[in-house]
Amino acid sequence: MGKVTHLRDAARESEKITINLGYVDLGRIDLLVQDGFYSNRSDMIRTAIRNLIDGHGDVVAKSIERHTMELGLRDYSVADLQALRDAGEVLHVKVVGLARIAADVTPELALATIGSIRVLGALQASAEVKMAIADRVT
């Protein structure tokens, strides 16, 4: 199997999200940016979210342990999936972070080897693979 890489060790990758903030909160953020505490709004919001998540670190760790999920970046290569297929095994993917299925994985190989997939974060795979395994994504 491929190795698990913690996201802080991996190259920076991110997912864009949209949030709605009230004018007062937005003004407070702008004041912190203006006073040099943060380089921009996004920097302040990312920092606040990280601090909040870090404050719940024990809860998150216990939940990951309870759900037997992998934390960080998890890559699945053609070789990984072929080895599973050859061994007659089925993969049940559970990742908190980013799960990547290599671009050269065919939909047929993904269907033959991925029994279920649950990603809390983001899944990167070709459009064809995503379509093929759509009914296995929970």
Q: For 49-83, what is each residue's pLDDT tens digit?
A: 999 999 988 887 776 555 568 889 999 999 999 99
CA atoms lying within 13 Å on the CB side of residue 79: 4
Please state the pTM of the whole predicted model. Answer: 0.58
Helices (H), 68-123: 78-87, 107-113
DSSP string computed for 17-34: ------HHHHHHHHHHHH
pLDDT tens over the chain, length 138 residues: 555 555 554 445 778 899 999 999 999 999 999 999 999 999 999 999 999 999 988 887 776 555 568 889 999 999 999 998 998 888 889 999 999 999 999 999 999 999 999 999 999 999 999 999 999 998
